[in-house]
């Protein structure tokens, strides 16, 4: 939506003979904007209703099944306030964030570096393709016992679990993005005398940037999952540890308070990366006519 | 007469390990500052020929000389493509500065040069816009400005106006003629539009398909400058147009028959298949 707006004032400077299609678009603009506002309002309204229905369902389930099946939402709020005020939640969040960010940084840097290498050197990519595929197809949890033997039970081992889960989507997206770089743009640069290194760094890698960014977004989401799995299965710590402790003692209100934090954390991370993706990849909007 | 800037002698090219013959025995010269069009139905190897002249691919047979040497992609030969092929992550000025950098121009001179060229195609105020913010015609102007920015000796154009609407095409043809006559660059212009070829060029090289070879080379002489008086209504234009269309209709008819034959009898040898013409 933002991109559309920046386009229109620029087109307005042109004599109408060059861009005759732009004229009828202005006439309809007011109408479309109103319709879009209406739609946005309707979507938000339905979302609120659904959220309230969910909450009502929780109360109903609590009334029917008791505290073990579904804790009373009021208790969840009370437990959340308690956990935030006594520092339990903050400590857990800090431990989890440490693992997530270390794991993400490690998988992003190694994934992009190797992906650029595999995408740039076609033969190397072909040689390593079956190995990458085999590793990527193995469920990450299968490596946890091995990682425990090699790295122990604490933060460094958890970071390795997270790296193992997020590395491959980042690697594969980077490789694919570079290997599938726009051939027309590559030929254009070649026609103007670009050499291999220039072609690679100035055309193919920038062209792959949106693909690399979606790899990072997928990788980050997997990092959250990997962190919780590591914290549940290895030395209990962080939000995953709190989850396990509460679950084992059937403290379901406490358990739900942690789930809400995890939900918010995952949503926040994905939203941030989506924003970055949109900002950096804004020229992809009308890809077809930008070439 | 000055020495040719481009010279092709018996150029041939095959694809798929010699299975598909794209070009055969192509010989012609382009003089400095001359405007030559390559015309022909699809499949006659026009674009392949242009890429050989650019040095992007090498011919299998024959010799190509551009300014006395084998062609090499670089700033002496600039290409304008059917779609503008602008780098979408760079601004309009950034796209032109990119090729100026490839040419080896120092960084301090690039912005001014890019802006001067954008001025020449009437897009000075769009220097900081991104390609996707421009219309197709404006993008193609940027493509033209980018090609002119490297100050080429030869401008290679691969159906540059084919994807544009009729009005924009008309405007850009006129601008191209003006830019060409001012700069004295040799132009090799690929098109499938007969009118466009006659309108713009001093010589039209008509190609036949399968394999691509030269059918006829026609000299076009209209009073210059052409952008001031449209030659399209003159009797000379009309008769040249008729003549070229007759040739093309012949080729297309041959091609259609050959394809029909191929469909009916499987793999027919093209060279012996022409007997079919006598039935009609």
* Burial degree of A270 (CB within 10 A; 0-12, 13-18, 19+): middle
Element (H, E) at A145: helix A144-151
Instruction: Report whether pLDDT(B256) > 70.
Output: no
Tell me how far apart the alpha carbons of residues A144 and B196 are, in angstroms, rounded to a whole number: 68
CB contact under 8 A, B150 and A291: no
Tens of pLDDT, residue by residue over A163-206, are 999 999 999 999 999 988 888 899 999 988 888 888 899 999 88
B9 forms beta bridges with B63
Q: Which of B73, B134, B167 sits opposite A17 (nearest CB)?
A: B167
Lowest-confidence range among A134-143, A205-214, B108-117, B223-232?
A: B223-232
Instruction: Report whether pLDDT(B226) > 50.
Output: yes
Tens of pLDDT, residue by residue over B190-218, are 988 888 888 888 898 988 887 888 888 88
The percent of residues in chain B predicted with pLDDT above 90, rounded, is 9
Q: List Cα–Cα distances, A23 to A4, A10, A128, B170, in angstroms.
A: 15, 13, 54, 20
User: What homologous superfamily does CATH list for A73-290?
Assistant: MetI-like (1.10.3720.10)
* Burial degree of A242 (CB within 10 A; 0-12, 13-18, 19+): buried
Share the mean pLDDT of chain B: 82
How close does chain A come to B83, measured CA to CA in Å?
A: 7
Give the tokens for residue A202. 């100035």
Question: What's the first-to-final CA gap in chain A, in angstroms?
Answer: 21
User: For chain B, which residues make up each domain, given as ranges?
Assistant: 6-76+152-229
User: For chain A, which residues make up each domain, given as ranges?
Assistant: 2-65, 73-290
Q: Which residues of A touch B146 (CB under 8 A)?
A: 192
CB contact under 8 A, A289 and B136: yes
Tens of pLDDT, residue by residue over B146-203, are 988 888 888 999 988 888 888 888 888 888 888 888 888 899 999 888 888 888 888 9
Q: Domain B6-76+152-229: which CATH class?
A: alpha beta
What pTM was computed for the model? 0.73
Q: Which of B56, B137, B138 sits opposite A191 (nearest CB)?
A: B56
Instruction: Report whether pLDDT(B270) > 80.
Output: no
Mean pLDDT in consecutive groups of 10 residues from the start of chain A, 291 residues? 40 43 51 88 95 94 90 92 92 94 95 92 89 88 92 92 93 91 89 88 89 89 91 90 91 93 91 82 48 37
CB contact under 8 A, B132 and A184: no
CB contact under 8 A, B171 and A18: yes
| Per-residue pLDDT band at B276 (split at 50, 70, 90) | very low
Question: Which residue, B34, B31, B17, is CA-closest to B180?
Answer: B34
pLDDT at residue number B3: 81
CB B204 within 8 A of CB B37: yes
């Amino acid at each position: 939506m933002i991109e559309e707006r920046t386009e229109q004032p620029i087109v307005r400077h042109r004599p109408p003979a060059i861009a005759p299609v732009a004229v009828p678009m202005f006439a309809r603009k007011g109408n479309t904007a109103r319709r879009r506002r209406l739609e946005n309002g309707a979507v938000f309204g339905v979302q609120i209703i659904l959220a309230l229905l969910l909450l009502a369902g929780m109360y109903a389930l609590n009334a029917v099944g008791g505290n073990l099946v579904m804790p009373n939402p009021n208790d969840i709020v009370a437990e959340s306030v308690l956990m935030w005020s006594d520092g339990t939640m903050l400590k857990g969040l800090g431990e989890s964030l440490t693992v997530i960010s270390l794991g993400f940084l490690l998988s992003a840097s190694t994934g992009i570096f190797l992906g650029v290498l595999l995408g740039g050197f076609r033969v190397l990519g072909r040689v390593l393709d079956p190995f990458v595929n085999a590793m990527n197809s193995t469920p990450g949890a299968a490596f946890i016992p091995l990682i425990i033997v090699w790295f122990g039970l604490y933060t460094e081992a958890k970071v390795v679990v997270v790296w193992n889960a997020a590395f491959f989507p980042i690697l594969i997206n980077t490789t694919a993005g570079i290997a599938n770089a726009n051939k027309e743009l590559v030929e254009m640069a070649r026609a103007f005398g670009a050499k291999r290194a220039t072609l690679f760094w100035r055309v193919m890698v920038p062209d792959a940037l949106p693909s690399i960014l979606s790899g990072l977004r997928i990788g980050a989401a997997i990092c959250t999952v990997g962190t919780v799995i590591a914290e549940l299965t290895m030395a209990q710590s962080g939000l995953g540890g709190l989850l396990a402790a509460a679950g084992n003692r059937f403290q379901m209100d406490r358990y739900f308070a942690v789930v809400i934090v995890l939900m918010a954390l995952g949503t926040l991370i994905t939203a941030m990366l989506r924003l970055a993706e949109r900002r950096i990849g804004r020229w992809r909007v009308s890809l077809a006519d930008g070439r | 007469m000055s020495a040719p800037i481009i010279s092709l002698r018996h150029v041939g090219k095959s694809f798929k390990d010699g299975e598909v013959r794209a070009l055969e025995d192509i010989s012609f010269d382009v003089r400095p500052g001359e405007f030559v069009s390559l015309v022909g139905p699809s499949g006659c190897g026009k674009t392949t020929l242009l890429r050989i002249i650019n040095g992007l691919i090498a011919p299998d047979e024959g010799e190509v000389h551009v300014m006395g040497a084998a062609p090499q992609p670089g700033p002496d030969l600039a290409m304008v493509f059917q779609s503008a092929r602008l780098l979408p992550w760079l601004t309009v000025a950034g796209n032109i500065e990119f090729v100026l950098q490839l040419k080896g121009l120092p960084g301090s001179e690039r912005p001014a040069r890019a802006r001067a060229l954008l001025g020449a195609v009437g897009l000075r105020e769009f220097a900081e816009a991104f390609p996707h913010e421009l219309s197709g015609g404006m993008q193609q102007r940027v493509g033209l400005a980018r090609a002119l920015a490297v100050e080429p000796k030869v401008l290679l154009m691969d159906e540059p106006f084919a994807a544009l609407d009729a009005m924009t095409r008309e405007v850009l043809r006129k601008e191209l003629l003006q830019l060409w006559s001012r700069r004295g660059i040799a132009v090799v212009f690929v098109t499938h539009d007969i009118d466009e070829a006659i309108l713009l060029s001093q010589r039209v090289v008509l190609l036949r398909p399968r394999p691509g070879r030269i059918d006829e080379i026609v000299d076009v002489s209209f009073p210059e400058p052409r952008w001031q008086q449209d030659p399209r209504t003159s009797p000379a234009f009309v008769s040249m147009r008729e003549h070229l269309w007759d040739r093309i209709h012949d080729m297309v008819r041959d091609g259609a028959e050959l394809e029909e034959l191929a469909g009916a009898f499987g793999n027919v040898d093209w060279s012996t298949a022409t007997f079919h013409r006598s039935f009609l």
